[in-house]
Amino acid sequence: MQKLNLPGPKAKALIERDKKVVSTSYPRAYPFVMDHGKGVDVWDVDGNHFLDFAAGIAVVSTGHSHPVVVEAIQKQAQKFLHISSDFYHENMINIAEELDKISPFEGPSRVFLTNSGTESVEGAIKLARYHTGRTQIIGFLGGFHGRTYGALTLTASKADYHRGFYPLANGVTHIPYPNPYRQLLASQPDEDYGETVLRYLEEQVFQRLVPPEDVAAIVVEPIQGEGGYIVPSKAFFQGLRKICDQYGILLIADEVQSGMGRTGKWWAIQNFDVEPDIVVSAKGIASGMPFGAIIARKHIMNWSKGSHGNTYGGNPVSCAAASATIKALREGYLENAAEVGAYTIEKAKQLLLKHPSVGEVRGIGLMIGVEFVLDRETKQPAAELSEDIVQKAFERGVLFLGCGKNTIRISPPLMVTKEQVDFALEVLDEAITLSEREFEIVVA
């Protein structure tokens, strides 16, 4: 693949301007300065063409500037841009009705609309405590739920996210996430690792740290996102549901990254035949407009008037974009995510046969992780190697992002084609080859 000369002069100039005035906290991956995009294709300000296999962190589910979404935004923008949630508007009702139809549980739901994933998580924590009258929350190591204080306390993917911000919120206890590839707990013979984690929850956490009758909710990502695109077993989720039912604990599925069709189903939790009590959503819900939602069983969202609210939640333009997004997903992109996702996973698994640094390929639909190791036997994480591979792929025209310590995510828009997948994986293959050579990783 031809290596691009990056960043170009216009990109360099804009990055220098950015450095002078924009917060230093943004975790920029590499010097990509976007000019425009269409579908999976994006162009930088110097005219360089790329395939976007990050999708704005799984946000642009329908691709960049989908015509149906753009039309919906333009149509609403000509009518009015804002009305606070103190009043009513039809777009807000429409999207709530749509989300009720696709909620991953039996029976009616209620919807609270937000501006982001972290706000959705914060609201769900409040709702769980309000409804149950309990205070404690169980989260998982490796989880990422946002950067505001409640969501940040639940987040346990990187210590850097907490550094400098203590004390965090009270009432959160973390347990290991059931990562089949990297097991922190010792399993019993013939025991699924997900069952091991649940046994730890009952025998250690509930007996030594937190009484289950004080736990309001367990918050879990059905597929862990920033933690490394980790897929647990079906036995884990079915056992988790039983524990929640046994102790009257609410099960909250954080579907901010995994939801809205990314796995080929509306919600990733549906791949495990389990119904949550509350779902939090954002990212792919509105194809790039700032928008999120808390979807709860109707009897759970029973808080009183004024107990929770916001100014911009249910923004009419974002609501229109979300309704158009659901329409596009329903009319073909869900099926495409399942079909092309399965194709991508099988193609990506071929990297295991060729590259000693590829430890595991995992995922469902178009939520796929490729984990890199220095040695397959010891599974020592190859963090610097994976970062170098992302950089080399960028220089050859494909945008990837890392997750966890040493995993590269494959998360393109849901309308990606097999031909685009083929090109992206060819670039990834070449980038891995070059990086392995530089890091002197060879077949033993």
Q: For the residues 398-424, what does the mean pLDDT come to? A: 98
Which residues partner with 401 through β-bridges?
A: 409
The CATH number linked to 156 is 3.40.640.10
266 and 185 in one domain? yes
Token pair, residue 377, equals: 């036997």
343 and 266 in one domain? no
Nearest to 232 by CA among 145, 143, 297, 157: 143
For residue 443, name the pLDDT band (cuts at 50, 70, 90): low
Q: For the residues 292-309, what does the mean pLDDT come to? A: 97
Buried b (16+ CB within 10 A) or exposed e, 264-302: bbbbbbbbbebbbbbbbbbbbbbbbbbbbbbbbbeebbe
Establish if 73 belongs to a structural domain: no
Whether this model's pTM surpasses 0.85: yes
Q: Which of 286, 314, 342 is the last residue of a domain?
A: 314
For residue 300, name the pLDDT band (cuts at 50, 70, 90): very high
302 and 368 in one domain? no
For residue 161, the tally of other CB atoms under 10 A from its CB is 15
For residue 281, name the pLDDT band (cuts at 50, 70, 90): very high
pLDDT tens-digit readout, 318-356: 999 999 999 999 999 999 999 999 999 999 999 999 999
Query: 283 is in which domain, residue-wise?
Result: 83-314
Q: For the residues 84-107, what does the mean pLDDT come to? A: 97
Establish if 390 belongs to a structural domain: yes
Q: For the residues 157-169, what does the mean pLDDT come to? A: 95
Residue 381: CA count within 13 A, CB half-sphere = 13
224 and 140 in one domain? yes
Establish if 256 belongs to a structural domain: yes
pLDDT tens-digit readout, 7-46: 999 999 999 999 999 999 999 999 999 999 999 999 999 9
Q: Which of 252, 282, 314 is the last residue of a domain?
A: 314
Establish if 444 belongs to a structural domain: no
Establish if 308 belongs to a structural domain: yes
197 and 53 in one domain? no
Residue 442, pLDDT score? 76
383 and 306 in one domain? no
Establish if 327 belongs to a structural domain: no
Establish if 43 belongs to a structural domain: yes
392 and 365 in one domain? yes
Establish if 193 belongs to a structural domain: yes
Residue 401 pLDDT more than 80?
Answer: yes
pLDDT tens-digit readout, 73-84: 999 999 999 999
Q: What is the mean pLDDT of the chain?
A: 97
Residue 444 pLDDT more than 60?
Answer: no
60 and 118 in one domain? no
**Pairing, β 172-175 against β 136-140:** parallel
For residue 2, name the pLDDT band (cuts at 50, 70, 90): confident
307 and 357 in one domain? no
376 and 295 in one domain? no
Q: For the residues 204-225, what does the mean pLDDT come to? A: 98
**Pairing, β 215-220 against β 136-140:** parallel
266 and 372 in one domain? no
Number of domains within the chain: 2
For residue 269, name the pLDDT band (cuts at 50, 70, 90): very high
Q: Which of 252, 286, 314 is the last residue of a domain?
A: 314
How far is it, in rounded angstroms, from Cα 338 to Cα 331?
A: 13
221 and 161 in one domain? yes
Cis amide linkage into residue 7, ω under 30° from 0: yes
The CATH number linked to 426 is 3.90.1150.10
